[in-house]
Structure 1
């Protein structure tokens, strides 16, 4: 695809007629963007694939991921299935020598993520990971404010957030989120997305301590009241140091709060920044940035400048889940066409999952972990 003006032909593993994340975010993003063509999809069976193909107007519908990745009509394979099924789908795409975008987290645990990153490196294929919080206009603006010295030297930062799921009730059809062994937990999903953008803005962790807990061991299904066990952590508290020397405190809690559901404060020698939002899923949240510096005593809103909304075809998707996903796809298109590497790849994903594994080790041992 280097320097080609031909559309990137996309095949989506996990696009279902019943909905889901691929239909909610990937489909509306891709259909708005020039330079992409959704050529194929696969689902759990031939019948379900055919139903999705008819519903969304996708010409090629396959009953298995293996059939999709072998199609000559597909340039970029998108893996949008539950985390325990990532490994099989990603290895199939890599084996077919296709560029592949995998949803986050890349693997069910750090060992899988490292395996997939190594397999892709050996095959020499382009890889991308769906860590789209870093494409959020507000997050990019925040990164630049910090880099440009708005707060001076960053002394400390504190973040408190709600995981939305993993509270007293869970939505129908997402029982798998409750089981820690499935790898789709509050730690890996909202915490993982948020901490990736957090480190993009402020720098990497050099050491951390952590406490995790499952305070609600039985939760109810919304609408039915059915009880289900939960082993995934609903409390994650991390403290540590960044490579800049800044002191960090991050606390995620399950469900939603009657207080604030996302509050991120950055305190520096010359000023302060505060970011608030409607949930701890920073990759989806609607965010407000406020700040004060110098002699100012009160925070004032800092509207995100229009230059950060730099993809006109996504203009009607601002503040919707498809926007950040679409912005990432636009960057993927540029990476494929120009040979650049702006979008996180599998090596980046494995590094980020090593950070999450460090949180788990610190919580289990009660000792600080260094990186």
Structure 2
């Protein structure tokens, strides 16, 4: 498919806050051949404000109407996870290409349903694992595969996030309920696990400990608290199919702990540094090796920083896939595999023993 400009429909646009505002709009404006055609929000007034802020042509109070808009080529799903399924399935039925934020669904059944529907329809889909798709991560994966540090032996990762701490704004309350599928394990953990597998290969087995360190969260500006039913700390040790062993610690509620990703190989080491309060995936990353290796390539939009930088990289590669008929970006089938891994980690923690990972 060749197309000069893709018209984007942003489901979940808000001029005041949200991932569409904080990451997607700067990415879309920085890349050639992309324009915001339509926006949707939970009310018409919020949608109208977003229309003005994002420079859209149309505004909807119903994201399903946006998904069916014939003037939209690609639907970007940036709403809360429990709302993903309905919008994604409507967009697939309308023949749209889809960029959906991670996690794809609340559970494996929802993710599998959406992946199956997308595959049957033949549309292009991308799952928002922008950290694992970042230029730095792809560069690191290539260096490891080319043997720059020899055979990977061990990997240590510490992945902090400000989320799932003692206090947050009220609109983050839903993140504390495990049933919603948007948790420290799925979001901070899922993004990091995707990067780990991108660099050192698939997990063969895992041992995990998911813990609720603080059992409630205070809503900022109030005396109200909400119970936390999802883990706010996660430990995973694993063995990978290539023989590398890894340790991962996902830490919630911290802003002063650096992101750490260090691979030790038979002939050298590789490190990825960066980090962002919202998680490593929301900031620029830098790869260094010993011995020295070629410099990492430039990002698709080198002038961007913060959350939009890695999102722009994924948008650029996704649109190139659509134009060229290739399928190189993380898709819904990748989301299903990652959801299976997270389910195995959950089961390992519950059972207190090592489990094989079956994709």
SS for the counterpart of 1:251 is: strand
SS for the counterpart of 1:160 is: strand
Residue of 323, 332, 350 corresponding to 1:364: 350
SS for the counterpart of 2:281 is: coil
Describe the shift of the 1:44–1:309 C-alpha distance in structure 2 as closer, same or farther (beyond 3 A).
same
SS for the counterpart of 2:204 is: strand
Taking the TM superposition and a 5 Å limit, the aligned residue runs for 1:344-363 are: 344-363=330-349
CA distance in 2 between counterparts of 1:337 and 1:115 reads 26
CA distance in 2 between counterparts of 1:354 and 1:162 reads 23
Taking the TM superposition and a 5 Å limit, the aligned residue runs for 1:218-229 are: 218-224=216-222, 226-229=224-227
Task: Calculate the TM-score normalised by the size of structure 2.
Answer: 0.93
1:191 aligns with 2:207: no
Taking the TM superposition and a 5 Å limit, the aligned residue runs for 1:1-371 are: 2=1, 4-224=2-222, 226-256=224-254, 258=256, 260-279=257-276, 281-293=279-291, 305=295, 308-311=297-300, 314-317=301-304, 319-370=305-356, 371=358
Gap runs ≥5 in structure 1: 294-301
Gap runs ≥5 in structure 2: none
Q: Deviations over 1:71-115 (max 9, x none)?
A: 110111111100011111111111112111110000001111011
Aligned-pair distance for 1:213? 1.0
Q: Give the RMSD, CA atoms, in angstroms.
A: 1.9
Aligned-pair distance for 1:341? 0.6
Q: How many residues align?
A: 356
Task: Tell me which moved more, 280-289 or 261-270.
Answer: 280-289
Aligned-pair distance for 1:361? 1.1
SS for the counterpart of 1:245 is: coil
CA distance in 2 between counterparts of 1:205 and 1:139 reads 17
Aligned-pair distance for 1:257? 6.0
CA distance in 1 between counterparts of 2:282 and 2:320 reads 23
Aligned-pair distance for 1:61? 0.8
**Contact 1:289/1:303 (CA < 8 Å) preserved in 2?**
no
**Contact 2:275/2:281 (CA < 8 Å) preserved in 1?**
no
Aligned-pair distance for 1:7? 0.6
SS for the counterpart of 1:87 is: helix
CA distance in 1 between counterparts of 2:23 and 2:294 reads 22
Aligned-pair distance for 1:288? 4.2
